Structure 1
Amino acid sequence: MNDREERAGYASPACLLHEADPAYSGILAHDPQAALEVARWRKSERARLIEKRLSTAAAKRAEATSNIAATLDREIGEFSGRIIGFYWPFRGEPDLRGWAQGKLGAGARIALPVVISKGQPLEFRSWAPGDKLEKGIWNIPVPATGEAVLPDIVIAPLVGFDPAGYRLGYGGGFYDRTLAAMPTKPLTIGVGFEFQKLPTIFPQWHDVPMDRLVIERLS
């Protein structure tokens, strides 16, 4: 932990990937057997980390989320004219809805991800409080209407993460597929809690690392 982390009380405030050791990523090539073993390991770790997150007191998660929001403000800086892709919280994820909605007053637009179909990239749809929502995959609310947009910034929730910025998600590959398909890559920021840190997620050829991580320690 560096001096900045000790002062701020964050586990890994907005780590820039160029500061990470590139040898740490351990990207695996197209090896079917290795990929199968990694998939099994990820499934086990995913279940463990989600259970731990859900078992954490809501008040502790809320306090940590407030600190995450403050760090995002400092790291992003200017919001006017930018489109922020965020997410509707699920299974104990940091609830950044209030933070995102507050950026409308700063001149930003906000958008939520929508699963169009399995194996396809997400579609980000413009959304504002009061716009109609409907149930999407896993019953997560998504905009029923709204313009399809390309975010300038994508805030992605983490199930797990490693020091190289690789993200462990829910296993559908939606974020990786979406980022790879975008004509212009947005600034990607993964958000989560310190206990979700893993030595490595054993990244595969298709995994796309986050540009930055904003990680908060639970009190």
Structure 2
Amino acid sequence: MTADDARRYASPPCMAADIAPGYFDPQQPSDVARWRRAERARLRPARQAMRVQDRRAAAAALTGHLRDLLAARFGDMRGRVVSAYWPIKGEPDLRPLMEELSAAGATVALPLVEVKHAPLVFRHWTPQTRMVRGDWNIPVPPDDAVAVTPEITLAPLMGWDMAGYRLGYGGGYFDRTLAALSPRPVTIGVGFQAAKLDTIHPQPHDIALDVIVTEAGLQVDRDAP
């Protein structure tokens, strides 16, 4: 740069990305995507490293908090359509709650990918459902199970923040599905307290959840006064 060039600029060009390899700009989608991949790579093995008894105790406590929340918000669950999830990779196991809800007269559904990069489809599940292997080898109801639209959605969290944002597995299916559903279901994030983040650096496509529950209790309630 010549002396004349220097006089034309208030400051020299920013070379921070070259000077500091770890430089992170939360306004840049590529930086946020890279940061999220790193957080998933950190959080997933930490979750899977939990002792079996600790994971079971946390899941039992979480189930109790969810049971109380659903009773307080919705009362009688008969006729309600609730989507849950089949636990994988150390996620909290909500299958006992799913059985309770089904026995109480709720329609329990599980999400599945039927078309790549499209919104999820929810199919009816009962404890007697013959499960098949779906995308990512996750057990799902068969094609002949009735498709339903949930009014309450329980979503697993890889990570979460106090603004109600969810860090998922990176496929974008959950946000894509919420954007397509009308009316939008009540969204309840379900995860471990240890997965709390200061922020997920939300981007325009991210949709905040209504509620987040962990084994420590209700953490986020965006409807609260």
Please give the alpha-carbon distance, in whole angstroms, between the structure 2 residues aligned to 1:59 and 1:100: 21
Which has more radius of gyration? 2
Q: Percent identity?
A: 48
Aligned residue in 2 for 1:206: 205
CA-to-aligned-CA distance 1:85-112 (integer Å, 9 cap, x gap): 0000010000001111111121111000
Q: Relative CO higher for 1 or 2, CA cutoff 8 Å, sep ≥ 6?
A: 1
Instruction: Kindly report structure 1 stretches of 4+ aligned residues shifted beyond 3 Å.
Output: none
- Runs of at least 5 residues in structure 2 that lack an aligned partner in the other structure: 1-25, 217-225
Q: Which amino acid aligns with 2:190?
A: V
1:97 corresponds, among 88, 91, 95, to 95
2:191 aligned counterpart, secondary structure: strand
User: Deviation at 1:169?
Assistant: 0.3
Please give the alpha-carbon distance, in whole angstroms, between the structure 1 residues aligned to 2:103 and 2:50: 32
1:88 aligned counterpart, secondary structure: coil
Aligned residue in 2 for 1:164: 163
Aligned residue in 1 for 2:222: none
Please give the alpha-carbon distance, in whole angstroms, between the structure 2 residues aligned to 1:35 and 1:116: 28
TM score, norm. by length of structure 2: 0.80
Aligned residue in 1 for 2:19: none
CA-to-aligned-CA distance 1:10-39 (integer Å, 9 cap, x gap): xxxxxxxxxxxxxxxxxx7xx7xx111101
1:108 corresponds, among 94, 106, 109, to 106
Please give the alpha-carbon distance, in whole angstroms, between the structure 2 residues aligned to 1:116 and 1:40: 28
Please give the alpha-carbon distance, in whole angstroms, between the structure 2 residues aligned to 1:44 and 1:163: 20
Please give the alpha-carbon distance, in whole angstroms, between the structure 1 residues aligned to 2:169 and 2:115: 15
- Confirm or deny that 1:76 pairs with 2:77: no
- Runs of at least 5 residues in structure 1 that lack an aligned partner in the other structure: 1-27
Q: Which amino acid aligns with 1:76?
A: L
CA-to-aligned-CA distance 1:155-187 (integer Å, 9 cap, x gap): 000000011010000000111000110011111
Please give the alpha-carbon distance, in whole angstroms, between the structure 2 residues aligned to 1:39 and 1:76: 34
User: Deviation at 1:117?
Assistant: 2.1
Q: Which amino acid aligns with 1:180?
A: A
Please give the alpha-carbon distance, in whole angstroms, between the structure 2 residues aligned to 1:104 and 1:50: 30
Please give the alpha-carbon distance, in whole angstroms, between the structure 1 residues aligned to 2:175 and 2:101: 25
2:87 aligned counterpart, secondary structure: coil
